[in-house]
Amino acid sequence: MANRCEICDKGRLVGNKVSHSNIKSKTVQRPNLQRVRAKVDGSVQRLRVCTRCLRSGRIQKSS
């Protein structure tokens, strides 16, 4: 299962962690994904959605 939002397709971000002595090592930032029940085309599905999409109302949660 990919660590990716199913609505906006947001994925991981790779960068460098830089120490005080300027040694660079790779670091990964992952999106904050939540498993929610949402209405998609009239039916209820389980989705992995980032919190940005939840907060902005891009999906309609089902109760």
Q: Give the model's confidence band at 2: pLDDT under 50 very low, under 70 low, under 90 confident, else very high.
A: confident
Q: Selecting from 3.30.70.360, 2.40.110.10, 2.30.170.40, 3.90.230.10, what CATH number does the domain 1-63 have?
A: 2.30.170.40
Give the pLDDT of residue 63.
74
Residue range 20-37, pLDDT digits in tens: 999 999 999 999 999 999
Distance of CA 15 to the CA centre of its chain: 17
* Strand spans (E) along 1-63: 13-18, 24-29, 33-40, 43-50
Using CA atoms, how far apart are residues 58 and 29, in angstroms rounded to an integer?
A: 23
Q: Give the model's confidence band at 1: pLDDT under 50 very low, under 70 low, under 90 confident, else very high.
A: low
Given a cut of 80, whether residue 5 has pLDDT beyond it is yes
Q: Give the model's confidence band at 12: pLDDT under 50 very low, under 70 low, under 90 confident, else very high.
A: very high
